[in-house]
Chain A
Amino acid sequence: MWHARVFGGLAVLALGIAVIFFSRQLPYHSDYGPGPGFLPTWIGYVLAACAVVVTAQELRALKQNETFFQPRTRMAIKVLLVIATTFLLFPFLGFSVGFGVFICATMRLMGGHRWVTCGVAAIGTAVSIHFLFGHWLGIPLPTGLVGW
């Protein structure tokens, strides 16, 4: 994973080329001056040009680059997965209950809190979200199958 920054540069290069390709399908000129493809085309060229320079820089500094995966990166990825799972559960659990479960999971995962503490925090979160956002601010939050 020492090469992550090089891959980053190459990804930008690929993006730049893709932007040029898709921009060329849009009119570069119009009757009233530059067309909708004008700016994106130039963005693509600049992205690609800068990506070449950055990739070259990263290749030269390969040994000085720090690793992509730090000791706590695994924890960040776990939290990302918990968030994604919560989002997937929204249609079934709704926002209030979904976030209650989320808070419980992250407190347990990150802080190692006791299950009782996590459970109380989960109920508190669900009730607070329901009343703060749903009632007080009037945001029509998804309620899911729970109906709350």
Chain B
Amino acid sequence: MDLIHNLYTGFAVALTFQNILYCGFGVFFGQMIGVLPGIGAPTAIALLLPLTFTINPTSAIIMFAGIYYGVAYGGTITSVLINVPGESSTVMTCLDGYQMALHGRAGAALSVAAIGSWIAGTGSIVVLMAFAPALAKFGLRFGPAEFFALTMMAFGLLTVFGGENPFKVIISTMLGLLLTTVGLDVVSGMPRFAFGVPQLLGGFDFIVLICGMFGVAEVFNSIEQSEDEGQAIKGKLRLGDMFLTWEDWVASRWAIARGSVIGFLIGMIPAGGITTASFIAYLAEKRYAKHPERFGRGAIEGVAAPESANNSASISGFAPLLALGIPGSATTAVMLAGFMMWGIRPGPLLFTQHADLVWGLIASMYVGNFLLLLMNIFLIPIFVAMLRIPYSIMMGLIVVFATVGAFSVNNSLFDVWMMLGFALLAYIMIKLKYPIVPLILALVLGKLSENSLRQALMISGGSPIIFVARPISALFMGAALLAYLTPALRWFWKRWRAAGQEARVGPVPS
């Protein structure tokens, strides 16, 4: 009964004219961002975040959630039509989606992606409704030791999912943590790494940092990677082409189901992310297919599975964010910054203290997913037309929004220069193959991690045994240790397999 009452409260919030408008704007804007290569969901939210100071937090978070799952839908369009993923989460869709477009089935590919995403998204919301409050109740048992262990687990999982080289992931994580230590120490009041600069005493503002690292750095990166403006769109699109045949339904139904489940589970893991979800769903589908050789040549399951997975993961990523205050991806990390900006701390108490916000957000996801389904079937030509906007204009707008966003935090030009500095740092990091996402996650979780560590050690009188003496904390610490060891175990496994293969076939001639 509680669930029905909560859902009723949620729909009462989500179905107000104002929130439907924000949700509609969010999903449309997200879809647009997904279509345009070079801008991602974290960038879009980071750029809009400073402009929402005056908006009701519930409406703002509904809009941001709409952008988040809207992006997952939108990235598909470019993956299918021009073989360029609008988002990293739609990379796998290129493999079969573009092949379908070459065979004149672009409409079917986009349709199965939209319908699969809708089914996965709606299913995930149902599970999220039941699961998130239970997770929040579980979270009420957490003390400082558990929170520290949880952040350690999140950082550990980054070494598994966060990038190719685990050492570079750790360096990126440490840089994020280091940035959180700049400014006055909250316990002793001593300045750290401020070097006499008064503007640094308050620490780095998260918005300034993400506007630089996601907004402007992405501009430099896109300029370097971009080819000639305007690309050929494969396949003609008419409304009639958007409807699926019975054979398409039969072929894709289990792929959608499997993709949804895989996506939901991976989306909940801190640092799991929607890209990993779509990647694993595609590989799983190929592995269990009766004719895996069809994959990469236009198999509809190859579109249905990753698309369902990425949307499912984008919804389930809200569970750890809302219930524990732990973001699972860069986008949810930026949203967490938004919550903090509005004076709301996500975590176990959020479900009781801000029930209208939580349930309004969850209910709005139904509305948003339905709007996206309609947009994906009827508004595709508009999104395709957006691909023709020259990047020279797009990048100018990104820089304008990022700069105004950074300036508006403290109305200070110092922040604007700081933003440019962070953009340069992120650009160099990307070029040297250091991942940015671990830095952002560490930046968001850094304060929680350090404060929990110090509180826990104060409670235990300085003894680190507290982290393994409490069962939940010990569990998280064990998972963290396993996560940190995974790259090493993977390396040993590869060596062992190679040695076994060599023993069977003989040494490979050089």
Contact = CB atoms under 8 A, between A and B. Distances in A.
B395 interface: yes
Nearest to B223: A76
Interface string A122-138: 00010001000100011
Interface in B217-236: 219-221, 223-226, 229
A22 B420 contact: no
Contacts of B427: 76
Contacts of A46: 170, 174
Interface in A48-106: 50-51, 53-54, 57, 68, 70, 72-73, 75-76, 79-80, 83-84, 87, 90-91, 95, 99, 102-103, 106
Interface in B459-476: 462
A12 B400 contact: no
A54 B171 contact: yes
Contacts of B168: 50, 54
B392 A106 contact: yes
A4 B400 CA distance: 31
A4 B431 CA distance: 9
A14 interface: no
Contacts of A103: 393, 396, 400
Nearest to A136: B51
A36 B185 contact: yes
Contacts of A147: none
Interface string A32-56: 1111111110010011001101100
Given A27-B188, A39-B450, A107-B392, A34 B457 contact: yes
B453 interface: yes
Contact of B178 (A43, A54, A68): A43
Interface of B is mostly: helix
A34 B463 CA distance: 11
A26 to B, nearest CB: 6
Interface in B75-115: none
Contact of A111 (B392, B413, B432): B392
Contacts of B229: 111
A102 B400 CA distance: 9
A8 B392 contact: no
Interface residues of B, number: 58
Contact of B188 (A4, A30, A39, A51): A30
B223 A110 contact: yes
B188 A110 contact: no
A57 B167 contact: yes
A90 B171 contact: no
B339 interface: no
A125 B434 CA distance: 35
Given A79-B223, A90-B416, A111 B174 contact: no
A43 B171 CA distance: 9
B404 A76 contact: no
B457 A33 contact: yes
B4 interface: no
B9 interface: no
B408 interface: yes
Contact of A68 (B188, B390, B431): B431
A102 B407 contact: no
Given A38-B454, A113-B392, A12 B171 contact: yes
A43 B454 contact: no
A100 to B, nearest CB: 10
A102 B220 CA distance: 15
Given A8-B428, A75-B224, 20 more contacts: A4-B432, A32-B454, A33-B455, A34-B462, A36-B185, A37-B192, A40-B178, A46-B170, A46-B174, A53-B167, A72-B223, A76-B427, A79-B395, A83-B399, A84-B420, A87-B420, A106-B395, A111-B391, A137-B51, A139-B408
14 contacts: A33-B462, A36-B188, A38-B454, A39-B177, A43-B178, A72-B224, A76-B220, A83-B216, A90-B416, A102-B396, A109-B392, A111-B229, A125-B400, A139-B408
Counting from the closest, the 10 A-B pairs by CB-CB distance are A111-B392, A36-B185, A110-B392, A33-B458, A8-B432, A33-B457, A76-B220, A103-B396, A76-B223, A50-B167
